[in-house]
Amino acid sequence: MEEKIIGLLKRAQGYLSGEEISDSLKISRQGLWKHIQSLKEFGYDIAAVPHLGYRLISSPDRLFDFEVTLGLHTKILGRKILYFDSLSSTMDTAMQLGLKGVSEGTLVLAETQTKGRGRLGRIWVSPKYKGIYLSLILRPKLSPNQAPILTLLTAASICEAIKEVTGIAPQIKWPNDILVHHRKVGGILTELNAETDEVNFIVIGLGLNVNNEKKSLVSGATSLKEQKKENINRLTLLQEILLRLEKNYLTLEKKGSRPIIDKWREYNITLGQRVKIYSQREHIEGEAVDIDIDGALLVRRDTGLTQKVISGDVVHCR
């Protein structure tokens, strides 16, 4: 109901009488008053003037589920949203939901995380109301070894959304670091629940430094605000990310990996570079020459041999 009231007030661009609102939503005037009170508690500034009605003065900078839904043009992703003011990690909640069988596209959103996880056991610093911290549950018809393409798809979709909403030109460092001017602004973590030859579900986690202040950023990181020198609308950015992700996900289903890889290439800064890759098993050095159809990096070693790398931490040497 909150979503509908906010929707009406936003569209009205002025006062809307209590009668008009309650009639169109088929609720009592007292019911409406209660919903208005709870919206005020959420931080909405709503003027109530006798004989005129209600007017929305300002909305809080929050990613409330009903606000995300309001301007969302997707059919699958984010149609069900679980919003939390604080969570230990959206990944844990999403993995549990995945096991319970929630529908594809279910989105777990948190305004802060007390134990946000990065790749390779790192932590993801998640200051409250500043970034976007989400996990998305997908049920793709892929085998586990094809799953890395979803990381590339997510990275390309985030770059498209950042470019569209902020005008900033982002870059991707293989496989999934989102950079701006060579400093990290976002990261993707994917966790699988799979059988030998089939993915049951996959959780895609995204952490994006949006309005993070300089002092809260770890070394080598940046935020979109720091780059743009102005606050970025997190809601608009999140809706655009979900839209781009869905478009690319449907393309992957219909046309396979090739168009996704082509999009990823537009933003990548790894191919053509001399790289060092640190993985749990080994340390590889050579030239990043290409990626294969599943998103693995192909590295030409100094011996002339080309090696396929599925995961690891990449350092660009020059």
The span of 17-25, 202-210, 223-231, 270-278 binding ligand BTN (CB under 6 A) equals 202-210
With CB under 6 A as the contact rule, the residue among 59, 106, 113, 154 that binds ligand BTN is 113
Between 88 and 146, whose beta carbon lies closer to ligand BTN? Answer: 88
Q: What are phi and psi of 94, to 5 degrees?
A: -65, -40
The span of 21-29, 165-173, 205-213, 231-239 binding ligand BTN (CB under 6 A) equals 205-213
Would you give the binding string for ligand BTN spanning residues 129-168, x where CB under 6 A is met?
A: ----xxx---------------------------------
Between 22 and 126, whose beta carbon lies closer to ligand BTN? Answer: 126
Between 16 and 68, whose beta carbon lies closer to ligand BTN? Answer: 68
Q: How far apart are CA 24 and CA 45, in angstroms?
A: 22
Q: Rule CB under 6 A: is residue 183 a binding residue for ligand BTN?
A: no
Q: Please check whether residue 106 is in contact with residue 40, taking contact to mean a CB–CB distance below 8 angstroms.
A: no
Phi-psi region of 311 (alpha: psi -120 to 50; beta: other; left: phi over 0): beta
Q: Rule CB under 6 A: is residue 118 a binding residue for ligand BTN?
A: yes
Q: Rule CB under 6 A: is residue 205 a binding residue for ligand BTN?
A: yes
Q: Please check whether residue 277 is in contact with residue 175, taking contact to mean a CB–CB distance below 8 angstroms.
A: no
Q: Rule CB under 6 A: is residue 59 a binding residue for ligand BTN?
A: no
Name the H helices within the chain. Answer: 2-12, 18-25, 29-41, 65-70, 90-100, 148-166, 224-228, 234-255, 258-267
Q: How far apart are CA 3 and CA 65, in angstroms?
A: 9
Q: How far apart are CA 92 and CA 115, in angstroms?
A: 10
Q: Which residues contact ligand BTN (rule: CB under 6 A)?
A: 89-91, 113, 116-119, 122, 124, 133-135, 177, 187-189, 205-207
